[in-house]
Amino acid sequence: MAIFSPVNAVTDIIPQLEKIVGQDGVIKRKDELFTYECDGLTGYRQRPALVVLPRTTEQVATIVKLCHDRQIPWIARGAGTGLSGGALPGADSLLIVTTRMRQILAVDYDNQTIVVQPGVVNNWVTQTVSGAGFYYAPDPSSQIVCSIGGNIAENSGGVHCLKYGTTTNHVLGLKLVIPDGSIVEVGGQVPETPGYDLTGLFVGSEGTLGIATEITLKILKTPESICVVLADFLSLEATAQSVADIIAAGIVPAGMEIMDNFSINAVEDVVATNCYPRDAAAILLVELDGLPIEVELNQAKVEEICRNNGARNTAIAYDQETRLKMWKGRKAAFAAAGKLSPSYFVQDGVVPRTQLVQILSDINDLSKKYGFAIANVFHAGDGNLHPLILYDQKVPGAWEKVEELGGEILKRCVELGGSLSGEHGIGIDKNCFMPNMFNEVDLETMQWVRQCFNPDNLANPGKLFPTPRSCGEVANAQRLNLGQDKKMEEIY
Amino acid sequence: MAIFSPVNAVTDIIPQLEKIVGQDGVIKRKDELFTYECDGLTGYRQRPALVVLPRTTEQVATIVKLCHDRQIPWIARGAGTGLSGGALPGADSLLIVTTRMRQILAVDYDNQTIVVQPGVVNNWVTQTVSGAGFYYAPDPSSQIVCSIGGNIAENSGGVHCLKYGTTTNHVLGLKLVIPDGSIVEVGGQVPETPGYDLTGLFVGSEGTLGIATEITLKILKTPESICVVLADFLSLEATAQSVADIIAAGIVPAGMEIMDNFSINAVEDVVATNCYPRDAAAILLVELDGLPIEVELNQAKVEEICRNNGARNTAIAYDQETRLKMWKGRKAAFAAAGKLSPSYFVQDGVVPRTQLVQILSDINDLSKKYGFAIANVFHAGDGNLHPLILYDQKVPGAWEKVEELGGEILKRCVELGGSLSGEHGIGIDKNCFMPNMFNEVDLETMQWVRQCFNPDNLANPGKLFPTPRSCGEVANAQRLNLGQDKKMEEIY
């Protein structure tokens, strides 16, 4: 575990790196390296020894081979918007940053595929193909900034993953550089490829198996009609029950989100959508897409279900402007919480949909027990929670208590049959909780896979899996060294 | 590579096996073992040394541990309907057959999941949940016989995989016994689980990574309305163009199948559906599902597209009886070919949808070159072809030429950007073609994964990957030993 040890041989390879990518492709000045000391999980910070900015698969392969030969740890970084510290550098490591790998390599409308480099921003994919009537479905909230390479590492989701699945459902093939520097192609242009599904294995592997340098994605036809239903309720239970009833009615909304009273007021204070009633216990946002008539019928059904569960009001938006207004508050929820409280911490957990009411009640109990307010915003259709714990970083011991509280929420999610992470990944933030979800044999089996791709543990060491110094200990060391930082996710 | 060597120590463990599963759970009599000498690919036959019939995960784990300790090769077998010889035994191997593992372990309608043992027949899943308005989407043509465990091994598809995806899209979690006898749990009750996607890795691994003993599947709501459009054309190109246009119009049919003139006549001769015009160059079957109004609108669009491409007639079926009649011929196509010709061989390849016309023209050329008639039946929406090569096994050298022709078709599929297999797997039948699709590094990377789960190569040796004695050589050895057998797939 060399991740936090002092700088070593990595600076020795500067001449070779400059030969590979040019002088302007190697960042070595201390002040310039500051940019790269954290990703979206800013509570953990570490300046890398060196940053390199390749442009091609071949350059990446040469760099990774060099690291392999010199036994230098390396970390791939996309746009740096990750929320689990997956791109946190080690002091002795090389950061391979994909910001110069931003080419759209091919578009094939007939077969509905697009080939991109990993630095391409998520939203650019849709922008590239929207004129022809297509879009790329996975839409993390950071989609105007985050990159496809990072989406692959974290298997990113988004509002639309309820109907369309996460990133793994949209990747057909990958060109990879694995930790020995070999270039490997997995998957292909068609969904059915024989042999082991290494494409699926790689998506969500959080940078521990290699780096994707060419990515073949599926693109979908833009729906003919889109509608958002906004319903407000006087009880959170009734809101959750509506979610269950909508799914039970056979409707698969494109997205289905709940915000609780606390989040509603935070949002209205900060961005003033004037859409969300401040006295509602919760609001439910349901996006429906498809043929116009299908959307209309489902919209009527959703409204009826909400009213049967006691919704006070329902509002409907078909036009883009109103739809965006309805979503604006949801999209601004994290930033709003950040403005209301000196600090906040966003957790990411999953429960089976039927356990939503239970986990919300448990979170409420934990909130009282620990004495921190918690705003609840979540992808309700998937059972994916994002509780926002509000606290003041200046109060001594507050962060430790918040971290403990966040951990309690995760443990409860797992106990209820859920998961440690819906879409933000494990990274450095949650690897200590992996044994809560997986037993020793399960984790060992994953380690086998890591070891066969990454036997020297050079690719993103210390992430994803528990280590003797996981979570608390490393975090404490980091905080002592660098000062506690607000865990801000401006782009969430 | 011990797969075809003489019987060895496996019979020594009979007493231990009988202790684990009872005397009636071990099959050792030569005449009884004949049942297990091949799967649906009957051209390859080998009696196993021994068959064991466990009932529980723990029994499977104890058996596999015993094999591990004694270094005995073993092969898992479900219903034996596989078409690539994935369950072909070795002479010295133990066949672990799941026919006594047929329990439905749990059903959760609220979360839309079902937990089954691997021997549960595909169709039973739908039968179990249909009363509550649910179904299980993957529907291989053998669904009334094939088992979920086998579906997992081969990542089985079916008519409905165009819209709903193959088996891998419907498996949430697995309890596995891996080749050292450990019990491992991968995935879970919710789709989002952190760590490597070992569930996805295992699905389609053709028995080389272990055996699934408990399987958590997604179940879907039964569509409110289903309609089949049957269109007939005077040119195959126009039929393929209609497929492209339907997809380009943003319609995602539940299934979309083409049959050519040869197949039409074969089917009408044998099962007389009286649905398919004998003089049509091809027919197109399009199944649409969803809300009634959505289905109606899409049905009208599909009809219009077909007519614009020169379809002579279109017939529409909403009622179940007529729908089943329209599908009957398609479902009977392989059996019909088997009745028209002394022997036939069914190939399974994939091309990008836009290459359908090209590959059909190439297949036509190859048919002329080799002098064998070929009937074409295919999942057109996915570009998944099932050319049926008709031949006479009694003609000396015919089978060798057919095998060569089948190989030429596969190579052409790969050249056109497609794949060696859409849904039947690689098994023993196509492993020699893997280097046509994957380079050495790609294959080596897959081998790493195999080795980390299955380092002694005890689990299904000789399958999936090319070996020094792949395909031709082994096949010839088999044929010389056992006599050429008609490659019959009564259940296709």
Same domain for B216 and B231, yes or no, is no
pLDDT tens per residue across span A3-52? 444 445 899 999 999 999 999 999 999 999 999 999 988 878 999 999 99
- The whole-angstrom distance between A278's CA and the closest CA on chain B is 31
Hey, are the CB atoms on B133 and A250 less than 8 Å from each other? yes
- A254: in domain: yes
Hey, are the CB atoms on B421 and A186 less than 8 Å from each other? no
* Residue closest to B152 by CA, chosen among B114, B200, B219: B200
- Would the pLDDT of B472 be above 70? no
pLDDT tens per residue across span A88-111? 999 999 999 999 999 999 999 999
Same domain for A140 and A203, yes or no, is yes
Hey, are the CB atoms on A290 and B293 less than 8 Å from each other? no
- Out of A140-149, A209-218, B135-144, give the one with best mean pLDDT: A209-218
* Residue closest to B77 by CA, chosen among B110, B53, B107: B53
Instruction: Spell out which residues of chain B touch residue A423, defining contact as CB-CB under 8 Å.
Output: 192
Same domain for B251 and B148, yes or no, is no
- Would the pLDDT of A254 be above 70? yes
Q: What is the Cα–Cα distance from B148 to A459, expressed in whole angstroms?
A: 37
The H-or-E segment that residue B298 falls in is helix B292-308
DSSP classification of residue B384:
E
Hey, are the CB atoms on B204 and A182 less than 8 Å from each other? no
- A240: in domain: yes
Chain centre distance of CA A282: 24
Average pLDDT value over all residues in chain A: 90
Interface test mutation site (partner A, options B130, B196, B431, max chain A beta carbons within 10 A): B196
Interface test mutation site (partner B, options A84, A185, A190, A463, max chain B beta carbons within 10 A): A190
- Would the pLDDT of A116 be above 60? yes
| pLDDT for the residue A484 | 30
Residues 6 or more apart whose Cβ sits within 8 Å of residue B446? A195, A196, A198, B438, B465
Q: Contact B252/B326 with Cβ under 8 angstroms? A: no
Hey, are the CB atoms on B445 and A198 less than 8 Å from each other? yes
The separation between the first and the last C-alpha atoms of chain A, rounded to the nearest angstrom, is: 30
Tell me which of B304, B334, B364 is where a domain ends. B334
Same domain for A207 and A122, yes or no, is yes
Tell me which of A271, A301, A334 is where a domain ends. A334
| pLDDT for the residue B251 | 93
Hey, are the CB atoms on B204 and A197 less than 8 Å from each other? yes
Domain assignment of residue A178, given as a range: 104-221
Hey, are the CB atoms on A111 and B353 less than 8 Å from each other? yes
Q: What is the Cα–Cα distance from A13 to A11, expressed in whole angstroms?
A: 5
| pLDDT for the residue A76 | 98
Same domain for B136 and B182, yes or no, is yes
C-alpha distances (whole Å) from B37 to each of B4, B63, B77, B463 are 12, 20, 11, 16
Q: What is the Cα–Cα distance from B187 to A445, expressed in whole angstroms?
A: 13
* Residue closest to A258 by CA, chosen among A317, A197, A311: A311
What percent of chain A shows pLDDT beyond 90?
A: 75
Same domain for A116 and A180, yes or no, is yes
- Would the pLDDT of B476 be above 80? no
| pLDDT for the residue B339 | 82
Instruction: Spell out which residues of chain B touch residue A182, defining contact as CB-CB under 8 Å.
Output: 441, 445
Q: What is the Cα–Cα distance from A429 to A44, expressed in whole angstroms?
A: 9
Same domain for B214 and B317, yes or no, is no
* Residue closest to B8 by CA, chosen among B93, B97, B129, B95: B93
| pLDDT for the residue A486 | 34
| Identity of the amino acid at A472 | G
A126-151 as b/e, with b when 16 or more CB fall inside 10 Å? bebbeeeebbbbbbbbbbebbbbbbb
Q: Which band of pLDDT confidence, cut at 50, 70 and 90, is reported for residue B484?
A: very low
Hey, are the CB atoms on A434 and B350 less than 8 Å from each other? no
| pLDDT for the residue A3 | 43
Instruction: Spell out which residues of chain A touch residue B440, defining contact as CB-CB under 8 Å.
Output: none
What percent of chain B shows pLDDT beyond 70?
A: 93
Q: Which band of pLDDT confidence, cut at 50, 70 and 90, is reported for residue A487?
A: very low
pLDDT tens per residue across span B50-104? 999 999 999 999 999 999 999 999 999 999 999 899 999 999 999 999 999 999 9
- B173: in domain: yes
Same domain for B169 and B214, yes or no, is yes
Q: What is the Cα–Cα distance from B46 to B42, expressed in whole angstroms?
A: 10
Same domain for B196 and B242, yes or no, is no
> Taken in order A18, A24, A25, A29, is the CA torsion positive or negative?
positive
Average pLDDT value over all residues in chain B: 90
Pairwise pLDDT comparison (A368 vs B333), residue with the higher score: A368
| pLDDT for the residue A440 | 92
Q: Compute the radius of gyration of chain A from its Cα atoms.
A: 22
Number of A:B CB contacts under 8 A? 225
3-state secondary structure chain A: CCCCCCCCHHHHHHHHHHHHHCHHHEECCHHHHHHHCCCCCCCCCCCCCEEECCCCHHHHHHHHHHHHHHCCCEEEECCCCCCCCCCCCCCCCEEEECCCCCCEEEEECCCCEEEECCCCEHHHHHHHHHCCCEECCCCCCCCCCCEHHHHHHHCCCCCCHHHHCCHHHHEEEEEEECCCCCEEEEECCCCCCCCCCHHHHHCCCCCCCCEEEEEEEECEECCCEEEEEEEEECCHHHHHHHHHHHHHCCCCCCEEEEEEHHHHHHHHHHCCCCCCCCCCCEEEEEEEEECHHHHHHHHHHHHHHHHHCCCCEEEEECCHHHHHHHHHHHHCHHHHHHHHCCEEEECCEECCHHHHHHHHHHHHHHHHHHCCCEEEEEEHHHCEEEEEEEECCCCCCHHHHHHHHHHHHHHHHHHCCCECCCCCCCCCCCHHHHHHHCCHHHHHHHHHHHHHHCCCCCECCCCCCCCCCCCHHHHHHHHHHHCCCCCCCCCC
**Widest Cα–Cα separation across chain A:** 69
| pLDDT for the residue A477 | 41
- A379: in domain: no
| pLDDT for the residue B332 | 83
- Would the pLDDT of A406 be above 50? yes
Same domain for B216 and B236, yes or no, is no
Take residue B471 and report the two structure tokens written for it: 């395909």
- B280: in domain: yes
- Would the pLDDT of B261 be above 60? yes
| pLDDT for the residue B471 | 56
- Would the pLDDT of A372 be above 60? yes
Q: Which band of pLDDT confidence, cut at 50, 70 and 90, is reported for residue A335?
A: confident
CATH of the domain at B153: 3.30.465.10
CATH of the domain at B312: 3.30.70.3450
| pLDDT for the residue B343 | 86
- The whole-angstrom distance between A133's CA and the closest CA on chain B is 9
- The whole-angstrom distance between B260's CA and the closest CA on chain A is 23
Residues 6 or more apart whose Cβ sits within 8 Å of residue A275? A230, A315, A325, A326, A328, A329
Q: Which band of pLDDT confidence, cut at 50, 70 and 90, is reported for residue A145?
A: very high
Q: To the nearest 10°, report the CA torsion of A240, A244, A245, A251.
A: 120
Take residue B339 and report the two structure tokens written for it: 């009745």
- Would the pLDDT of B475 be above 50? no
Q: Of the given ranges (A143-152, A309-318, A427-436, B212-221), which has the lowest mean pLDDT?
A: A427-436
Q: What is the mean pLDDT of residues A337-350?
A: 87
Q: What is the Cα–Cα distance from A267 to B12, expressed in whole angstroms?
A: 72
- Would the pLDDT of B348 be above 60? yes
Same domain for A176 and A209, yes or no, is yes
Take residue A85 and report the two structure tokens written for it: 């510290």
DSSP annotation string for B53-93? ---SHHHHHHHHHHHHHHT--EEEESSS--SS-TTPPPTT-
Q: What is the mean pLDDT of residues A302-323?
A: 96
| pLDDT for the residue B189 | 83
- Would the pLDDT of A70 be above 90? yes
Strands (E) across B166-303 are located at: 171-177, 183-187, 211-218, 220-221, 225-233, 255-260, 282-290
Hey, are the CB atoms on A192 and B293 less than 8 Å from each other? no
- A108: in domain: yes
| Identity of the amino acid at A181 | G
| pLDDT for the residue B165 | 92
- B142: in domain: yes
Q: What is the Cα–Cα distance from A233 to B331, expressed in whole angstroms?
A: 50
Interface test mutation site (partner A, options B156, B174, B197, B446, max chain A beta carbons within 10 A): B197
Nearest CA in chain B to A200: B200
Three-state DSSP at B209 gives coil
| pLDDT for the residue B131 | 95
pLDDT tens per residue across span B195-230? 999 999 999 999 999 999 999 999 999 999 999 999
Tell me which of B334, B359, B377 is where a domain ends. B334
Q: What is the Cα–Cα distance from A152 to A170, expressed in whole angstroms?
A: 10
- Would the pLDDT of A475 be above 90? no
- The whole-angstrom distance between A48's CA and the closest CA on chain B is 25
Take residue B276 and report the two structure tokens written for it: 């398919």
Residues 6 or more apart whose Cβ sits within 8 Å of residue A395? none
| pLDDT for the residue A469 | 56
Size of chain A, expressed as the number of residues it contains: 492
DSSP classification of residue B285:
E
Same domain for B307 and B274, yes or no, is yes
Nearest to B451 among A204, A248, A452 (CB): A452
Instruction: Spell out which residues of chain A touch residue B419, defining contact as CB-CB under 8 Å.
Output: 188, 190, 192-194
| pLDDT for the residue B37 | 94
Provide the domain count of chain A. 2
Q: What is the mean pLDDT of residues B449-467?
A: 93
Residue position matching structure tokens 């090389």: A94
- B374: in domain: no
Q: What is the Cα–Cα distance from B140 to B491, expressed in whole angstroms?
A: 10
What percent of chain B shows pLDDT beyond 90?
A: 75
